[in-house]
Structure 1
Amino acid sequence: MDFNEVRPGYLKSSEKTIKIHISELKIGMYVSKLDRPWLETPFLMQGFMIESLDDIDAVAEYAQHVWIDAVGEEWVAPEERAAVKGQAKKVSYINKIDAKAEHAAAMDTYREARRLTRSLLDDLRLGGVINSEQAKSTVKECVHSILRNSDALIWMSKIRTQDEYTAEHCLNVCILAIAFGRHLGMSEGDLERLGLCGLLHDVGKMRVQPEVLHKPASLTEKEFNMMKAHTVHGRNLLMSSPGIPNSTIDVAYSHHERIDGTGYPRGLSSSGISEFAKIIAIVDAYDAMTADRCYSPSIPSTEALKIIFKDRGTHFDDRLGLEFIKSVGLYPPGTLVELVNGLIAIVFETNSKYRHLPKVIAVKKQDAKLEKNVLVDLSGVERGSLDKSFLIKRALNDGSFGVYIKDYREQGLALG
């Protein structure tokens, strides 16, 4: 049987690796290795399926030979096959304006959305109910910004204030979920519904005692059970608030369920977890890992994506986990990076063609602050206008080398 042929009801599974010339590459093949260093390419992970002729053309730009995995067959459960077949037709989006033009509007959108999110959570903390119209209005503004250009608002989501973690986390999950939904090709209506799920997924934490919610050490078993109860509290709060969609209630209740059935509160497995809940589970984990929390320091985006890659198929949905990694990219907007030449920079805008070569704002040379913040398009390395010392050496945690993202929001984006 040819390794590209798969019978109905079966999925491809790796058996052996074969070296081939790029001219032999076909749709359906799984590329596991290239003939050049991985970091010199825009591909997000070492290993991907060829799904279109465009994929073949993209690989051909960077390699003459590739290694592919010859594949056999693996049976897939009917409900999983049905989920794939039943997906809605994708909507294609393009950025209507560039990130620099969207930044001023995105900053205003983020400030107002953060204020409204804090107000929503404060009302709940004091025993009130959710103002559903206010929440929907907040999400709608975020959707509009992300549809104009997703990079600007994602940049804002990197700005953290530890004493406002829960409010900022809820808003950031909303923003990242909308951007992910855009990548998946969801309709504008579904983006608004998904964004509302992200904004309100953790409202149940307003019913968890502050000393447990903000404890800077490991929780006892009793305290952990109190924390896990936020999913039940969230469901109950949303059910008692008029105008909240059922999908939002479900996500608040189910976003800690795991694909392998080891999550909480009900121990659901993959087929019992909604698509929105699977998406918010991934986004929730990513935003939490990349933020400083009272009990755990942040890790760089690249490290968080590695964890999601490792835990796909157990904690997270396999397909959605891989799509999220593609959506976020190696260096999302707002990521602090160090270049090979020692420049410290903030990623300003992604590059759809060269994902490893974004536009960055250079702010520092190791310990010396630059006279001006300079916008540098790193794709110049590929075009020959910049040398290879402008490649990104590594992603950094916010605050490394004394550079904090929030300072640059407060100063404005004055570029030389």
Structure 2
Amino acid sequence: MNKKAAQRDDLVDPKVVRQGFYDKSKRSIKISVGELRVGMYVSKLDRDWLETPFLMQGFLLECQADIDTVTEYCEHVWVDAVQPTWVPPEERSSLPPAKKRTTYTNKVSARDEHKHAAGVFREARRLTKSLVDDLRLGGVIDTTQAKNTVKACVDSILRNPDALLWMTKIRTQDNYTAEHSFNVCILSIALGRHLGLCESDLEKIGLCGLLHDVGKIRVPPKVLNKPGKLDKKEWNMMRAHVIHGRNLLLSTPGITHAAVDVAYSHHERMDGEGYPRKLKAAGISYFSRIIAIVDAYDAMTAKRCYAPAMSTTKALKIIYSERGTHFDSELALAFIKSVGLYPPGSMVELKNGMVGLVLEANRERRHLPKVILLKQGSEPLKREKIVDLMQIENGKLEEDYLIRDTLPDGSFGIFVGEYREKGLIFKN
């Protein structure tokens, strides 16, 4: 065995070999760096090894950071050929490799953060719309603006995530793509915080969320906004947005490779039934798995041209039912836990027919939040009142005050944004 081969064998974990990541009997194949995935073994570069920071000639891609480093120095590499399905989902942890989790605590109360987050929300949403509009007019992505927008969101969510999270419930009837992209940015950062990702990774995942659907600006508006079912040709045009997104971001200076990968891969599925490449679980990056869940949740809970908005409960039930097939099982459960059963700002209908908004979640009794009651069915109450559903347990409230269901924003003519403008504060 020559020296290089010995070095390569020393780098390969026997467990990785058994799982099927690395098969030294296979030949190497040349691929672009945009096709690299965690678990691949890089055996050759398109430049001399001495021109790169890599210590060994041949190495395993263990995490997204490894891919980002390769992308900085190369356009093409050679990887050892492997079978199409490397590792079944149940054998591969969804936790990012070689990452130490960070434990976060709220730095300020939700009430205090609301005062600051309102300004962050307005400005960030304006900048997101500007970014999308500029691209539609043939401009380029303002990388600095995008990163600053994400940084402001990360700072707010690190102080207290509740303020920005419930603001994602404020919907408008236009600018769906920009609004959706911004919401996915916020939700993905909040999930990343819940998962214990470091601050730099929170900024990275936030940027991935902000730009994940950027390719939709290349989809004809008549297809993007069609209220009915898409025909085969239109569906292919819609699916092509992931390719357009990848190409747009590849040509954008200063964009992390993770954002390129997510734009290309956020519609892949764990069972290999996604698009555009039908990747199976082990071929889908950690960030792409996160964005896939958050993207689906925000889309389902928004009113779209072709479908009404779902309640948060129904959307979470779908994510739960499709864990392990469509979505990563561990991340799906983590997302459901981070969002909560009745998050602040949720519209709920009680068993007695009253309708209101969740003001404050209850960590110990998640099914018994604090609610402001606004209507009895479709009729406004003469006087709005706040009830703490915890009082059901001590007999001070009847059991017909239990929550029957959650409702989409706008149901019964109630919009959470209008109550925010009135100064109503929602908190955890």
Q: TM-score range by the shorter chain?
A: 0.7 to 0.9
User: TM-score normalised to the size of structure 2?
Assistant: 0.75
1:201-220 superposed Cα distances (whole Å, 9 cap, x missing partner): 00000111111111111111
Is 1:99–1:151's contact at 8 Å kept on the other side of the alignment?
A: yes
Task: Map 1:235-254 onto structure 2 (within 5 A).
Answer: 235-254=246-265
SS at match of 2:193: helix
Q: Distance in 1 between matches of 2:160 and 2:218?
A: 36
Superposed displacement of residue 391, structure 1 = 2.3
Residue 286 of structure 1: aligned partner: 297
**2:133 is the counterpart of 1:122:** yes
Structure 1 residues 133, 361: closer, same or farther in 2, change over 3 A? farther
Q: Distance in 2 between matches of 1:233 and 1:302?
A: 33
SS at match of 1:106: helix
SS at match of 1:363: strand
Is 1:373–1:414's contact at 8 Å kept on the other side of the alignment?
A: no
Q: Distance in 2 between matches of 1:79 and 1:314?
A: 11
Residue 188 of structure 2: aligned partner: 177
Equivalent of 2:339 in 328, 347, 353: 328
Task: Map 1:37-116 onto structure 2 (within 5 A).
Answer: 77=88, 80-81=91-92, 84=95, 86=97, 88-116=99-127
**Identical aligned residues as a percent:** 61
Structure 1 residues 303, 197: closer, same or farther in 2, change over 3 A? same
Residue 311 of structure 2: aligned partner: 300
Q: Distance in 2 between matches of 1:222 and 1:124?
A: 24
The letter of the residue matching 2:287 is: F
Superposed displacement of residue 108, structure 1 = 1.5
Residue 344 of structure 1: aligned partner: 355
Superposed displacement of residue 233, structure 1 = 0.7
Equivalent of 1:132 in 118, 143, 146: 143
1:260-310 superposed Cα distances (whole Å, 9 cap, x missing partner): 111111111110110000000010001101111000111111111111111
Superposed displacement of residue 162, structure 1 = 2.3
Bigger-Rg structure (1/2) = 2
Residue 61 of structure 1: aligned partner: none
Q: Distance in 1 between matches of 2:125 and 2:96?
A: 38
Structure 1 residues 347, 78: closer, same or farther in 2, change over 3 A? closer
Is 2:89–2:270's contact at 8 Å kept on the other side of the alignment?
A: no
Tell me the C-alpha RMSD between the 2 structures.
Answer: 2.3
SS at match of 2:375: strand
Residue 155 of structure 2: aligned partner: 144
Superposed displacement of residue 409, structure 1 = 2.6
Residue 158 of structure 1: aligned partner: 169
Is 1:113–1:138's contact at 8 Å kept on the other side of the alignment?
A: yes
Residue 376 of structure 2: aligned partner: 365
Q: Distance in 1 between matches of 2:234 and 2:163?
A: 38
Structure 1 residues 391, 84: closer, same or farther in 2, change over 3 A? same
User: TM-score normalised to the size of structure 1?
Assistant: 0.77
The letter of the residue matching 1:184 is: L
Q: Distance in 2 between matches of 1:285 and 1:151?
A: 20
Superposed displacement of residue 83, structure 1 = 5.3
Residue 239 of structure 2: aligned partner: 228
Q: Distance in 2 between matches of 1:386 and 1:93?
A: 36
Residue 199 of structure 2: aligned partner: 188
**2:401 is the counterpart of 1:390:** yes
Q: Distance in 2 between matches of 1:236 and 1:372?
A: 55
1:12-33 superposed Cα distances (whole Å, 9 cap, x missing partner): xxxxxxxxxxxxxxxxxxxxxx
SS at match of 2:104: coil
Superposed displacement of residue 380, structure 1 = 3.7
Superposed displacement of residue 386, structure 1 = 4.3
Superposed displacement of residue 372, structure 1 = 5.5
Structure 1 residues 403, 390: closer, same or farther in 2, change over 3 A? same
SS at match of 2:174: helix
The letter of the residue matching 2:327 is: F
The letter of the residue matching 1:285 is: A
Q: Distance in 1 between matches of 2:308 and 2:239?
A: 21
The letter of the residue matching 1:227 is: M
Is 1:79–1:271's contact at 8 Å kept on the other side of the alignment?
A: no
Is 1:202–1:231's contact at 8 Å kept on the other side of the alignment?
A: yes
1:359-414 superposed Cα distances (whole Å, 9 cap, x missing partner): 33332333443456544443343466544343222111222222122221333317
Structure 1 residues 339, 141: closer, same or farther in 2, change over 3 A? same
Q: Unmatched 5+ residue regions in structure 2?
A: 1-14, 17-86
The letter of the residue matching 1:183 is: H
Is 1:154–1:334's contact at 8 Å kept on the other side of the alignment?
A: no
